Structure 1
Amino acid sequence: MGKDHIKDTNLKSEYPLRLKAFNTYMDSVKGSSENTTLSYSRDLMMFFRFLKIQRNLCDKNTHFEEINVSDIKDDFYKQVTLTEMYDFLVFSKKQLKNSSATISRKIASLRAFFSFLHRKLQVIDIDYSLDLDNPKIGKRKIKYMDLAEAQNLLDSVKSRNYTRDYCILTLFLNCGLRLAELCSIDISHIKNDTIRIIGKGDKERFVYLNESSLSAIEAYLPDRKAKLDSLSSPTEKEALFISERGNRIAKRTVQEIVEKQLRNAGISGQGLSTHKLRHTAATLLYKYGKVDILVLKEILGHENISTTQIYTHTDNDMIRNAVKVNPLNKL
């Protein structure tokens, strides 16, 4: 079962009954984001298939992604042991080369699902996932652009949809939006100098627009209107950002726009992406705007302050300036 033999398949029609119920619970009760539910389900499907192999419940010649788990009954879950859970994590680390962060997410997936079986459905008597230990994760060093690189990116925009693409980059860099949040913005969400954002888990927050953001939106709106007016039957009249065909812009399209403009600016191939633009916005706000971490938490829509703390990293300029302000410096 090498990494090359495992494909990313996650068809809901293949889910066992309890996993379908877990999905409903995550969506309707917990209010989890679609991405979180999908990631957890993918991890659990992999775990179920791994167990079928370990327990000799399938033909050994069956490709991993083709192992049927839709027929799993409650006894299957009742027999899960702590050892099997650890075996799966070892497999993920050694065979799939998963990082510590990915292993931690898989542990979270197991805990959430088996807690659901134990506390909500009372299918299992003991929840062994509670005894799983999280791996140590080193402090992440996030990728971001410095101020000069961010300005160069905006100055280098070249596109037949210039005002739209410039506006997209401006909102990423000034508001720190997630990709899905940007794509979901409606015209009606903009009121004066604020945008109503629907974030993870459908949580609502309001983001204030600075002058650069307001100017970019103002420049884009006439072109947006002209595009919609040129179409005989536009399908999307509410979305702020629209495609060539008048549809709400797709996440993949935005990613391609960002990738193209990074190339234009000569900074492609450095691990930068739409999410790294969010990192850049947060870093610039903290470094140059002197924004308090609690305020930054609200701007970014983080649930926990610990998530925001990754942006309080230091760089050489901040260290150099800190040394200079030492009162003994002038003696």
Structure 2
Amino acid sequence: MAKYSPPQEKAPLLPPRMAEFRSYLQTIKGKSPATVAAYTYDLTLFLRYMQVHLGKVPSSIPFEEIPIDQIDDAFLQEITLNHLYAYLSYVEEMRENSAPARARKVASLKTFFKFLHGKARILPMDPTGDLESPRIRKRNPIYLSLDESVRLLQSMDRTHPDFRRDYCMLTLFLNCGLRISELISIRRPMLREDTMRIIGKGNKERTVYLNAACLAAIEDHLTHMDLEEVPEAYKEYLFLSSHKRPISKRTVERLVKKHIQHAGISAEQYTPHKLRHTAATLMYKHGNVDIRSLQAILGHENLSTTQIYTHVDNERLRESVSANPLNDIDRWAPLSPKDTESLDKEPSKK
């Protein structure tokens, strides 16, 4: 799933308890700025809805302009489980939120009210205790085949001045399964022989091992990097834009689409995150990587997230069943005396 980015709007003034919650997420839980921003957006939307739902503001005020900074403990103590379900109905029907979007909002609400109940201690009970999350239908990941992946890399224009940079980015996507946010954050001090230190989702650090293809692509890219006119603050970044600044997510997305199209592959459904899916799928299908190892490689917190890759290789499952030695037994063939004798023998006990 692509990483969630909250819509850009003027930051509202926050109620005191929400400001405390943000500080708690940052300093105690170590959440990344992007995660804190997502929580802030979700809770701002919820509190604006509650202002209207409880009749605290005139209905004539545009929704995005409803103030929330005056919300106090008494207001928060009024909120019940029924209010929460009414809010989820609102975002589904009026804002057309999908099940994954509503599930994220449920997670935000649960974390916030758990904080109010257990840390701030302003609520006698947590109204989200019995709040259920929408059921999300798991989909098999979209990925490039092995042949398409090879074609993507081999079809790149080697005469283009940014060829080495772009080839290195695609190689890391396809071999290491990096998230786009992880790729654009790589700095040279994070590289150590055949490993790379990555700061992943939620500011969690993990070690990524680099194979020969990655090492060769990185070395070729670094050897030809032009650091002239690059500001000192940006010289450590592995991937720079034509403006001598760290490359942006949008630029990477555009480049991935361009190279996929150049390879003769329909680029409509492929994004940098789909290249991450491709790396994981190829490792699982062709590299004999077990699911726990794949979880560590991808930096997934929950094994259930990684398990989507166990459903992509039905042919391998079919071959595994066919490989069962009992598959060769003809049920109509008579047993020979030797076979009967061996079946009658009890297995030896060791």
For normalisation by structure 1, the TM-score amounts to 0.91
Please report how far the alpha carbon of residue 79 of structure 1 lies from its aligned counterpart in structure 2 after TM superposition. 0.8
| Rg comparison, structure with higher value | 2
For residue 310 of structure 1, the aligned residue among 298, 308, 318 is 308
Instruction: Report the Cα distance in structure 2 between the residues aligned to 1:23 and 1:55, rounded to whole angstroms.
Output: 24
1:275 aligned onto 2:273: yes
- Give 1:32's aligned residue: 31
Please report how far the alpha carbon of residue 317 of structure 1 lies from its aligned counterpart in structure 2 after TM superposition. 3.1
Instruction: Report the Cα distance in structure 1 between the residues aligned to 2:76 and 2:295, rounded to whole angstroms.
Output: 39
Does the C-alpha gap of structure 1 residues 270 and 322 become closer, same or farther in structure 2, counting only changes over 3 Å? farther
Please report how far the alpha carbon of residue 32 of structure 1 lies from its aligned counterpart in structure 2 after TM superposition. 1.9
Instruction: Report the Cα distance in structure 1 between the residues aligned to 2:276 and 2:258, rounded to whole angstroms.
Output: 17
Give the stretch that moved more between structures: 176-185 or 150-159: 150-159
Equivalent residue of 2:198, what SS?
strand
- Give 1:41's aligned residue: 40
- Give 2:244's aligned residue: 246
Decide whether the 8 Å contact of 2:12 with 2:67 is kept in 1: no
Instruction: Report the Cα distance in structure 1 between the residues aligned to 2:8 and 2:70, rounded to whole angstroms.
Output: 17
Instruction: Report the Cα distance in structure 1 between the residues aligned to 2:163 and 2:187, rounded to whole angstroms.
Output: 20
> What value does the CA root-mean-square deviation take over the aligned residues?
1.9
Does the C-alpha gap of structure 1 residues 9 and 248 become closer, same or farther in structure 2, counting only changes over 3 Å? closer
Instruction: Report the Cα distance in structure 1 between the residues aligned to 2:231 and 2:281, rounded to whole angstroms.
Output: 42
Instruction: Report the Cα distance in structure 1 between the residues aligned to 2:123 and 2:11, rounded to whole angstroms.
Output: 23
1:70 aligned onto 2:86: no
Give the stretch that moved more between structures: 239-248 or 107-116: 239-248
- Give 1:204's aligned residue: 205
- Give 2:173's aligned residue: 172
**Counterpart amino acid of 1:162?**
F
Identity %: 45
Does the C-alpha gap of structure 1 residues 79 and 243 become closer, same or farther in structure 2, counting only changes over 3 Å? same
Give the stretch that moved more between structures: 20-29 or 169-178: 20-29
Please report how far the alpha carbon of residue 233 of structure 1 lies from its aligned counterpart in structure 2 after TM superposition. 4.4
Decide whether the 8 Å contact of 1:196 with 1:205 is kept in 2: yes
Please report how far the alpha carbon of residue 260 of structure 1 lies from its aligned counterpart in structure 2 after TM superposition. 1.5
Decide whether the 8 Å contact of 2:230 with 2:244 is kept in 1: no
Structure 1: where are the runs of 5+ without partners? 1-6
Matched residue pairs, number? 322
- Give 2:96's aligned residue: 97
Decide whether the 8 Å contact of 1:170 with 1:216 is kept in 2: yes
Does the C-alpha gap of structure 1 residues 9 and 190 become closer, same or farther in structure 2, counting only changes over 3 Å? closer
For normalisation by structure 2, the TM-score amounts to 0.86
Please report how far the alpha carbon of residue 10 of structure 1 lies from its aligned counterpart in structure 2 after TM superposition. 5.2
Please report how far the alpha carbon of residue 326 of structure 1 lies from its aligned counterpart in structure 2 after TM superposition. 3.8
1:195 aligned onto 2:193: no
- Give 1:4's aligned residue: none
Equivalent residue of 2:208, what SS?
strand
Does the C-alpha gap of structure 1 residues 192 and 8 become closer, same or farther in structure 2, counting only changes over 3 Å? closer
Decide whether the 8 Å contact of 2:43 with 2:109 is kept in 1: yes
Instruction: Report the Cα distance in structure 1 between the residues aligned to 2:26 and 2:299, rounded to whole angstroms.
Output: 19
**Counterpart amino acid of 2:164?**
T
